[in-house]
Structure 1
Amino acid sequence: MIKKCISGLLVSLTLVTYSAVTPVSAQAIDGTVTTITASKTSSIVVKINDKTVTLDQKPYVNSNSKVMMPLIPILKQIRSDAVLQVKDGNITIKGSNLNVTFKSGDEKVTANGKAITLSTIPIVNYGQVFVPLEFFSEAFNQLVDWDSTTQIVKISDMKKNTEDSFNKQLVYANDKIIAAKLDDYLTALQKSDNFHGSVLVAKDGNILLNRGYGMANFEQNIKNTSQTRFLIGSMTKQFTAMAIMQLEEKGLLSEQDKLSKYVPDFPRGDEITIYNLLTHTSGIKSLNEMPGFLNMKPEDLQNINTAINFFKNKPLDFKPGTQFEYSNSGYLLLGYIVEKVSGMNYENYLNKNIFKPLNMNDTGIGYIGKEKMYNSSGYQGYLDVTPISDEIIVDGVHGAGNLYSTTEDLYRWNMALDTEKLVSKKTMDKIFSKYVEMAKGSGIYYGYGWMIADGDNGHEVFHDGNVLGFTSNIARYTDKGLSIIILTNSGYYTINPLTYALSNIALGKNNYSMPKAKNVIKLDDSILNKYVGKYKSTDMGNISITNEGGHLYYSADGTNQKYELFAESQDKFFMRILYGDTTFDKNSNGQITGITINMPGYGMQYHGDKIN
């Protein structure tokens, strides 16, 4: 599988962003009961099923940053048949197939016979009942989101999937066994590796697994579901490529058209073709890797012309058509070409020609103005995570990485790729052709918005995606009838090994290991002190390793943060904030000579030499 490459800037963000926000431990959130101290605010906007509603009782954020919602006016919106009774602090909600009971000051709720423990206690104050946001997802099976930046609460119904493919029951015993193994694996992964996301696995037209794991929003204790919306990063490219090929089928453009035809003032645009843009052979540097990109304003980058002007006059990295170099700028230009040729903006084109025909009603552009349209929150980290905003990245990569979706919508897309609903089979074959090897000897080729490889589990057509707080992948093993869709709200999660493990399980193989929690051991000071000192790295700058009370800490010069190194063995350590491992290099005499930090989620390894 392809290793992901990101700029050194993003690597530094991984280590530095923790200085601004206290990390959240997944283990610390589950089951925690908080004390309510009201800090009311009337600025919160509430949207129910995408419509803004006015409530006579106002939501507020309590002193623990939990959003508390007025129960009665919300009930009127989501369950008009519900009848609520409050007596002596006991609350009962009844309606058609509905029976919910709980007490003021008690975190325990019973919903249709199911016992639920909330992280925040509901309260009754002068006849007004306030409940945490998670109440609606847990007791009423609603999709819930909170955006602390815009102060918007969104509550919506889970959609009923009408397509036969979502409603078929597994018949064969072997399918049921595999389905259970897939769920067992991901459940173990969530517990041991802090996996958070949604996964759909289907084989031969049967959905073996379709569910969410972990948290969509740690701070509000809202869980992921099969209909949680995630940013999908570079998976966006396959939709942009499809739009280009639809326009070619209509005779409105050609893969051999020059870029200068659509952007006349683009330097050397007469040397770059649409084919070059589709296959990352244009030589145009990726805008998100350029100095100054993250300093731009999101509202400026929402204008595609501003984004193009940011990189337009930069020199090409190589002569077009001579090399492969992954370029978000190239796909941004393709998104612009879609708009110019079709006469529609990018989102409207995709909605009309791809999303609506496929019933992909939970897929779209990540941000409209300042409002985020997906209902999960992005995080960086590993066993401890911190929230991180992707707005600047998403706004700046039109056509390259600015879409959100759900696993269910992406399965609709996946099924359509085996039909002629969107383009002819001839055109689909062109999309999935091997045009250029991504790295010499890798055996991984780029098509039009897709990567293609032949491996242990057969012919694989796939594409992953990364933005700062989200990682995604769709993998289609076309000769095995197997499709795997993974969406996570963890930035740079190591998704390729996970895809490989799930494919092995789905194909009935036993060559995988169940996830296990890391084993932390205690080392004597005599061992720890050998690692203490200063290390110098070309990529990471100067690093200090200290021993404080029998605990080893990592810190980078220029920051005021330090991170504990937990020992798995005498010379192998890990940090809770970063997926990867840290090892110390020794010479033939056993003396410590350097430090190596391996980050598989980034496809990177960094080394530093010990200098004292």
Structure 2
Amino acid sequence: MKKLFAGMLLFLAASLHSQNNFWPVDSLLVQYNKPETAGVSVLVVKDGKVVYNKQAGYANIEKKQPVTPQTVFCLASVSKQFTASCIVLLEQKHKLSFKDQLSKYFPEYSKKNITILDLLNHTSGIKNHEVISLIKGKEKLNYTNKEIRELLAPQELDFEPGTAFSYSNSGYWYLVRIVEKVSGESIVDFAQKNIFKPLKMKNTNYSYSFNSVKNAATGYKKENGINVICPVNSGEGSIAGGGVYGTAEDLNLWLTEMDNKKVLGEAFWNTILNQDAYEFDKENKSFYTKGLFITNYGGKKCISHGGDVEGFHNDLTYLPEAKMHVIILSNNDETKKALLFQAAANLSLGFGFKMPKAAMPAPTVKLSKDVLEKYVGIYEFEPGVAYKVTANDGFLNFTQLWDGVYLSVNASNSNTFPLDPDVVFTFNDEKNGKTQMLHLNQEGQEADFKRVDSAVMADFTSYTGRFRSELLNVEYDFFIKDGLLYYTIDKGIAQTTEIVDENLISIKEGKITYQRNADGVANEFILNHPRAKNFKFERIN
């Protein structure tokens, strides 16, 4: 009896220890259990057992539907490992080879030495079609396959295939099409038959239509403190870098298979995880292989992939040496998934965890137009360093007059506007209905900006002009308005710029490098985005 009682105590102690390992993630999930807050699902497995499986917040705020274990999330780029797996299965059946040229399936690439392996490992040099569309000023969610192919066909590669790494959804669009060409089936049917059904992942599959997915969470972002529904890619071009919808419990089955290799087999997983990985970061010994990153976390081997689109943020992480995996799925655009992972994993791994001072954004309040109006004006720290403050619908815009950077900030109370926990604007010293002082606290460094009638503005004339790309058939117009540099794309909506230095500016579409003649006039510029490079624009006025 004494031995039995002692064993019971040991069991209870172990159980209590296991629960205590997850107090950090419990503390974070509490913040999702608030009215009108989109949610999250966190699942942790250690030594083959589910040791944590909790959900918080709403899957659908309007319908008051909470996140549950059955909630299906848009997985975004987590999907890539399933697309890569389809390719590996076809390779094992000798239906294709990783050495096959892309031109075998798409003749327009006959002069470009791109292999299927390059597509799998993001070493093809192919530009991202979504970025090309963004640069053309025609950003959209729903592409047809024809549109994607026409966007990509005339583009030069960003680098010689196999020589560099550049993450590309376009490469995975080609892989999906290759799966369908070679198998004679849609990837929806092929993956269901060869992956999801054998693994009993009953609530996971590719889908061309978000509206057809049962129990699907709705993605949300905040705009001026109000929840806004985020649209999801649909249509035939939507299965490219993403396209899979699934639950945390189904993804647990997938990572369990990655660990025990009982269904798809040792050969399959050896090909996925160990063959032909590309080392994209030699200093940190980080690799990419067939839809998965292989890095290290606290000195332990880490196999992972995230998935991020507006309104959805997901992460699958497998730590083979620790016999542990962590799944995080969220339909809340403000979710900090890296922090959630640390909170869920660190104590079980023997690492420490310190809760940040502000794990979630501070609550915001919407101020009246009359209250905001007393803050409007120009505040100067010293000549050449000033903020222009303007009011919008319930929030303030802070424009840095020395470089044109434009910040939209909500209030946390009647006079405080936190950009984030480390950057806080506070208004003080009200006289005659106008505040006279703007206080800035940036990571503990403080500065006071005094209200002035006017401030010295930077001269942005050398950046102005109309420029055109013949390849993209698009025109950019840079001009000065209210002392700041703006631009339009094909005479569309005016957007702000950020001046980096004399020849470099930053815009939403990427970085612009001006090429100037002997007189300092910019005759052309090169626009580079991390996922689509070297677009040349020439002056036309």
TM-score class, shorter: 0.5 to 0.7
User: Secondary structure of 1:484's match?
Assistant: strand
Structure 1 counterpart of 2:332, from 490, 493, 505 = 490
Structure 2 counterpart of 1:218, from 45, 61, 70 = 61
- Structure-2 residue corresponding to 1:319: 160
- Structure-1 residue corresponding to 2:288: 446
Give me the whole-angstrom Cα distance separating, in 1, the residues matched to 2:213 and 2:199.
Answer: 23
User: Secondary structure of 1:445's match?
Assistant: strand
Q: Which amino acid aligns with 1:319?
A: E
TM-superposed CA distance for 1:521, in Å, is 12
Matched, 1:430 2:260: no
> Is the 8 Å Cα contact of residues 240 and 335 (structure 1) preserved in structure 2?
yes
TM-superposed CA distance for 1:432, in Å, is 1.9
Q: Which amino acid aligns with 1:545?
A: V
- Structure-2 residue corresponding to 1:479: 321
> Is the 8 Å Cα contact of residues 287 and 294 (structure 2) preserved in structure 1?
yes
Offset from partner CA, 1:365-421 (integer Å, 9 cap, x none): 344486455521111138935333433367534242111100000001111112334
* Distance 1:253-1:228 versus aligned 2 partners, 3 A rule: same
TM-superposed CA distance for 1:467, in Å, is 1.4
Matched, 1:337 2:178: yes
> Is the 8 Å Cα contact of residues 294 and 393 (structure 1) preserved in structure 2?
no
Matched, 1:554 2:415: no
- Structure-1 residue corresponding to 2:410: 564
Q: Which sits farther off after the overlay, 187-196 or 317-326?
A: 187-196
Matches within 5 A, 1:294-305: 295=138, 301=143, 303-305=144-146
Q: Report the TM-score, using the length of structure 1 for normalisation.
A: 0.58
Offset from partner CA, 1:464-499 (integer Å, 9 cap, x none): 001122111001111001110010002363312321
* Distance 1:279-1:385 versus aligned 2 partners, 3 A rule: farther
Q: Which sits farther off after the overlay, 321-330 or 310-319?
A: 310-319
* Distance 1:590-1:313 versus aligned 2 partners, 3 A rule: same
Structure 2 counterpart of 1:256, from 99, 103, 108 = 99
* Distance 1:235-1:562 versus aligned 2 partners, 3 A rule: closer
Structure 2 unaligned segments of length 5 or more: list them: 1-10, 366-371, 401-406, 426-439, 451-455, 458-496, 501-541
Structure 2 counterpart of 1:414, from 223, 239, 255 = 255
Q: Which amino acid aligns with 2:71?
A: T
Offset from partner CA, 1:108-166 (integer Å, 9 cap, x none): xxxxxxxxxxxxxxxxxxxxxxxxxxxxxxxxxxxxxxxxxxxxxxxxxxxxxxxxxxx
> Is the 8 Å Cα contact of residues 329 and 397 (structure 1) preserved in structure 2?
no
Q: Which amino acid aligns with 1:308?
A: R
Offset from partner CA, 1:506-533 (integer Å, 9 cap, x none): 33543231775667899xx9x9789748
TM-superposed CA distance for 1:574, in Å, is 2.6
> Is the 8 Å Cα contact of residues 381 and 491 (structure 1) preserved in structure 2?
yes
* Distance 1:255-1:409 versus aligned 2 partners, 3 A rule: same
> Is the 8 Å Cα contact of residues 533 and 545 (structure 1) preserved in structure 2?
no
User: Matched residues, percent identical?
Assistant: 28
- Structure-2 residue corresponding to 1:460: 302
* Distance 1:443-1:364 versus aligned 2 partners, 3 A rule: same
Give me the whole-angstrom Cα distance separating, in 2, the residues matched to 1:556 and 1:267.
Answer: 49
Q: Kindly report the root-mean-square deviation, in angstroms, between the aligned alpha carbons of the 2 structures.
A: 4.4
Give me the whole-angstrom Cα distance separating, in 1, the residues matched to 2:137 and 2:56.
Answer: 31
> Is the 8 Å Cα contact of residues 362 and 412 (structure 2) preserved in structure 1?
no
TM-superposed CA distance for 1:188, in Å, is 3.3
- Structure-2 residue corresponding to 1:574: 419
Matches within 5 A, 1:83-94: none
TM-superposed CA distance for 1:461, in Å, is 0.4
Q: Which sits farther off after the overlay, 275-284 or 424-433?
A: 424-433
TM-superposed CA distance for 1:553, in Å, is 1.6
* Distance 1:262-1:608 versus aligned 2 partners, 3 A rule: closer
> Is the 8 Å Cα contact of residues 43 and 54 (structure 2) preserved in structure 1?
yes
* Distance 1:450-1:170 versus aligned 2 partners, 3 A rule: farther
Give me the whole-angstrom Cα distance separating, in 2, the residues matched to 1:528 and 1:482.
Answer: 52
> Is the 8 Å Cα contact of residues 379 and 387 (structure 2) preserved in structure 1?
no
- Structure-1 residue corresponding to 2:347: 505
Q: Which amino acid aligns with 1:224?
A: V
> Is the 8 Å Cα contact of residues 45 and 324 (structure 2) preserved in structure 1?
yes
Matched, 1:173 2:18: no
- Structure-2 residue corresponding to 1:545: 389
